[in-house]
């Protein structure tokens, strides 16, 4: 597959995504494009910080996270006048 075919195939796959999957793919792509020094950043974290991040990822993968809108609503209700 040449470069033009690869780009066209990539575009077609992206074009078929629903909004949620498109946003997720966009985030993955941005992470990939900006990942040149991620390993250095990771290695500069303490073991405790690394464990906290890994635990958080496991919770999100297990659908134990709290949605952004739920957090915002909670604090809007708590601190609104």
The pLDDT value recorded for residue 40 is: 76
Residue 17: pLDDT band by 50, 70, 90 thresholds? Answer: very high
Confidence band (pLDDT; 50, 70, 90) for 30? confident
Does the pTM surpass 0.75? The reply is no
In this prediction, residue 21 carries a pLDDT of 92
Domain coordinates in residue numbering, the chain: 3-65
What residues have CB less than 8 Å from 29, skipping those under 6 apart? none
What pLDDT, on the 0 to 100 scale, is given for residue 81? 62
pLDDT at 10 over 80: yes
State the Cα–Cα distance between residues 69 and 22, nearest whole angstrom.
19
What does the longest C-alpha to C-alpha distance in the chain come to?
60
Give the total residue count for the chain.
81
Q: What are the φ and ψ backbone dihedral angles of 54, each rounded to 5 degrees?
A: -65, -40
Q: What is residue 56's three-state secondary structure?
A: helix
Mean pLDDT of 33-44: 76
| Coil, strand or helix at 26 | helix
């Amino acid at each position: 597959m040449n470069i033009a075919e690869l780009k066209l195939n990539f575009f077609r796959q992206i074009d078929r995504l629903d909004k949620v999957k498109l946003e997720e793919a966009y985030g993955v792509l941005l992470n990939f494009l900006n990942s040149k020094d991620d390993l250095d950043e990771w290695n500069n974290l303490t073991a405790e910080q690394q464990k906290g991040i890994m635990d958080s990822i496991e919770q999100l993968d297990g659908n134990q996270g709290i949605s952004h809108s739920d957090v915002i609503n909670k604090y809007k209700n708590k601190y609104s006048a």
